[in-house]
Amino acid sequence: MKIDKSLVRAFPLFDKMSDESLDKLLTHAASRRVPPGEAVFEQGGAASHFFLLLHGRLKVTQVTTSGQQIIVRVVHPGDLFGFAEALKRKDYPGTAIAVAESIALSWPSQLWPDFIDHHPKLAVSAMQTIGQRLEEAHTRIREMSTEEVERRVAHAVLRLTKQAGKQEEAGIRIDFPISRQDIAEMTGTTLHTVSRILSAWEGKGLVEGGRQKLLVRDVQGLSNLADNAKE
């Protein structure tokens, strides 16, 4: 299947790549449409492919033995994901589920070494990406160790506005469907607590809620909440 390079050219990951290289890369790629609720791959499944999200939004989750779920990260357009191969894993450590109508490119895992050998820029990018993820994970650990729930939720929401924020008249909208439960699973709390917190914020005019909707009206106010340790 032929994929047009204009689709990916815009992503920082590819902007330095020559036309030929890019074409070559894309000849090996397959594209796949993923409706909301459908999984791209499942935790524990053989890591047969790696992916690039072109459009939409995914959440990567893990379930514990006792059946509880957490959200490991959110995948945004332009992100590589599922490259377990790069880390020498045989299986996917989590499940990737579309939360909005999504389109992803996929390559067979065994092409990964090729991928980075022929495109050193990508190797560097991939390393950087992993480094960032490690840092994000440590940030999250730090927050969960030292901050109370309200501030953790504030940080999580602020991060979402940066990664998936769309400016509107009233403020910045989180540009994909996200439930209270999702936020709870990103911050290590319960949907009840998240609901109470958001209600309180709504009362103060910081945000505007809705079913699977969230709009941040006062980024500065939220930032203060997130950063100023309770004095």
Partner DNA sequence: CGTATTCTTGACTTATATCAATGTCGGTGG
Partner DNA sequence: CCACCGACATTGATATAAGTCAAGAATACG
Q: Please give the residue ranges that form the binding site for DNA (CB under 7 A).
A: 148-150, 179-181, 188-193, 195-196, 198-199, 202, 209-212
- Pick 26 or 156: Cβ nearer DNA: 156
User: Measured between alpha carbons, how far is 19 from 4 in angstroms, rounded to an integer?
Assistant: 11
Which residues, at least 6 apart from 137, have a Cβ–Cβ distance to it below 8 Å?
Answer: none
Subset of residues 110 to 139 that bind a copy of itself, contact rule: CB under 8 A: 124, 127-128, 130-135, 137-138
Pick from a copy of itself, DNA, none: which does 100 bind, CB < 5 to 8 A by kind? none
CB of 54 to DNA, least distance (A): 23
Q: Is 192 in the site for a copy of itself (CB under 8 A)?
A: no
H or E stretch at 65: none
**Window of 17-25, 84-92, 161-169, 211-219 that interacts with a copy of itself by CB under 8 A:** 84-92
Residue 180 has which token pair?
């209270």
Token duo for residue 39: 């999984």
**Coil, strand, or helix at residue 226?**
helix
**Beta carbon nearer to a copy of itself, 65 or 167:** 65
Q: How far is the C-alpha of 95 from the C-alpha of 39, rounded, in Å?
A: 7
Which range touches a copy of itself (CB under 8 A), out of 1-9, 14-22, 83-91, 166-174? 83-91
Q: Are 17 and 26 in contact (CB under 8 A)?
A: no
- In the region spanning residues 44 to 63, those forming contacts with a copy of itself, defined by CB under 8 A, are 62
In the bound complex, what is the minimum distance in angstroms from residue 99's beta carbon to DNA?
10
Q: Which does 116 bind (CB under 5 to 8 A by kind): a copy of itself, DNA, none?
A: none
Q: How far apart are CA 41 and CA 83, in angstroms?
A: 11
Count how many residues are written for the chain. Answer: 231
If the CB atoms of residues 43 and 48 are measured against a copy of itself, the closer one turns out to be: 43
* Binder of residue 170, out of DNA, a copy of itself, none (CB less than 5 to 8 A by kind): none
Q: Is residue 94 a contact partner of residue 43, using CB atoms and an 8 Å limit? A: yes
* Contact of residue 130 among a copy of itself, DNA, none (CB under 5-8 Å per partner type): a copy of itself
* E-state strands within the chain: 30-34, 39-41, 49-55, 58-63, 69-75, 80-81, 95-98, 102-108, 165-167, 172-174, 207-208, 215-216
Judged by the rule CB under 8 A, the positions of this chain that interact with a copy of itself are 62, 64-66, 68, 70, 72, 86-89, 93, 124, 127-128, 130-135, 137-138, 140-142, 144-146, 185, 188, 227, 229
